[in-house]
Structure 1
Amino acid sequence: MLQSLSNSKQHLIIFTRYPEPGRTKTRLIPALGTVGAANLQRQMTEHTISQVKELQQATNVSLEVRFTGGNLQLMQNWLGLDLVYQLQGEGDLGLRMARSLFDAFQSEMKQVVIIGTDCPGVNSRILTKAFEQLHSFDLVLGPAIDGGYYLIGLRRFIGELFANIDWGTSQVLQQTVDIAVKLNLLHTYLSLLADVDLPEDLPIWEQVIKGEVGVWDDRELER
C-alpha cells in the first residue's frame, strides 16, 4: 500500500476531513456559518501540511493523508497529486487510527506518528521532537488542553491503546496513559497545545496565522 512512498522508515499520517460545508467543524458553524467552518477546516489542513513539508526539508519522513468525506479526486484537486491518500474507513476514531498504524508497520515503517489538523500549534519543531523521542520511548503523546491528544507516535503496533477509549471526551489522554502503564510502555509527552473546536477557541487560530507561537504557558491556559 505504501510502496510509492520514499525509503524512509519514519512515517507521518495526517487525519483530516474534506472541507464540505455543513459536514465539517460543525461546532463552529454557529460562529462561522457552514461555509466559514469549512473554510477553516481547509485552512487548518493546509497549514498542517505546510508544517510537515517544512519537516521533510530537514528529515527523511514519508507522509500519508488519511481522509474522510469527499473522494480521492476531490482530495487531489485540493491538496495536489504529490501526496499519498487513503480513506480512513469505517469505525470509531480508535479503530481508524489503529488501522492506519497497522498498515504502516506492515509496510516496514519503524517510527509512525499520527496527527490531526485541529491543533494549529503543531509545527515542524514539535514533529521533529516526536520522531526523536521515538528513538528512546515506545509511545510519544502530544497532550491537548481539552484532555485528549493531538499527536501519538509509536515504534511498533500496539492495538490495545485504541480500544475502550471514550473518544471525544476529556478522558482520552488519561485512559491512553493508563493502558500504556499496564503494558509497561515507556512513554513521554510533548508540549501542551490547544485544539480549535469551539467558537471560544478561534483566537488560537488567529494567533497562529499572525505568526505567534502556538505553545501555551500556564497563564494562557486560564480562559
Structure 2
Amino acid sequence: METALIIFVRPPILGKVKTRLAKTIGDVKALEIYKELLQHTHSITQTLPCDKYVFYTDNIKRNDIWENSIYHKEVQSGNELGTRMSTAFEGLIQKRYQHICIIGSDCFELTTDIIQQAFNMLQQYDVVIGPSADGGYYLLGLNNMHPLLFTNIQWSTCNVLEQTIAACIASNCSHILLPMLHDIDDEKDWIQHQTKQAAL
C-alpha cells in the first residue's frame, strides 16, 4: 500500500495528558476527556484504506485500544516535536510510502472523510495542511521530506501554521489547506465543543 497514516499519542496517564486543560478542570477530568479523544481518533481511523502507525511518546502499549491487527506501533524519537515528527515521516518514507499524513489526538471535529480528503489532495499537492483555530495544525500530509517544515518552528504556539506555510513557500512546495477545525487544548475549547454537541 502506498499511503500511510501516522497517529501521535500519549499514554492516558493521570497528570501526564492535557495539562493545560487540567489547570482549570483538574487531572481526573482532563484524563477522562483525553480518553474520549483517543476513542474518537480510533473510531475515525480504523477503517481508512491505508497503513496506520501509532507512535507513542514512550513505551509501546500492546494491549490498548489500538488493535495490533490494524495498527503498526512505534515509539517517537527526538527531544522536540519537530524532530519527532520529521523522524516519523523519514521512517515511513524509507519504507517507500508515497503519501503520508500525520495527526494527533486532540480534535473531536476531525473525521474519516477529512483525512481521506488529505490523501486525495496529495495526488496533486506536495503538502496538505489541516489548520486549527489556535494557529497550529491538526494534520500534515507529505509526499517527500521537506526539512524546513520541521525546523525553526515555534511549536505549541499560535505561529505554527503561519511558519509552516512560510516554510512551504521557501521550499518551493505546492500546498493546500483543509477546513479549519478546533483542537481541545483548554477549558474554553472544551466548553465550545460541548455547546456544539448540545446544539446537534
Could you say which TM-score interval applies, normalised by the shorter chain? over 0.9
Gaps of 5+ in 1: 1-7, 213-223
Residue-by-residue CA offset, 1:151-177 (whole Å, 9 max, x unaligned): 000011112210000001111111111
Quote the Cα distance in structure 1 between the aligned partners of 2:188 and 2:84: 28
> 2:125 maps to what in 1?
137
Among candidates 34, 38, 41, match of residue 41 of structure 1: 34
After superposition, where does 1:1-223 map in structure 2 within 5 Å? 8-54=1-47, 56=48, 60-69=49-58, 71-72=59-60, 75-79=61-65, 80-82=67-69, 83-206=71-194, 212=200
Give the conservation status (yes or no) of the 8 Å contact 2:20–2:186.
yes
Residue-by-residue CA offset, 1:55-101 (whole Å, 9 max, x unaligned): x2xxx3110001114x32xx222223322111112221100000000
Aligned in 2, Cα 1:168/1:127: closer, same or farther, shift over 3 Å? same
Gaps of 5+ in 2: none
User: Greater CA deviation, 30-39 or 200-209?
Assistant: 200-209
Task: Report the Cα offset of residue 30 of structure 1.
Answer: 3.2
Relative to the length of structure 2, the TM-score reads 0.93
Quote the Cα distance in structure 2 between the aligned partners of 1:77 and 1:91: 26
Report SS of the residue matched to 1:78.
coil
Quote the Cα distance in structure 1 between the aligned partners of 2:115 and 2:27: 31
Quote the Cα distance in structure 2 between the aligned partners of 1:115 and 1:53: 14
Give the conservation status (yes or no) of the 8 Å contact 1:196–1:204.
no
Report SS of the residue matched to 1:191.
coil
Q: CA RMSD in A?
A: 1.7
Task: Report the Cα offset of residue 205 of structure 1.
Answer: 3.9
Count residues with an aligned counterpart: 198
Amino acid at match of 2:32: N
Between the two proteins, what is the percent identity of the paired residues? 33
Relative to the length of structure 1, the TM-score reads 0.84
Give the conservation status (yes or no) of the 8 Å contact 1:194–1:204.
no
Moved over 6 A (4+): 208-211
Task: Report the Cα offset of residue 17 of structure 1.
Answer: 0.5
> 1:215 maps to what in 2?
none
Quote the Cα distance in structure 2 between the aligned partners of 1:77 and 1:98: 27
Quote the Cα distance in structure 2 between the aligned partners of 1:160 and 1:109: 20
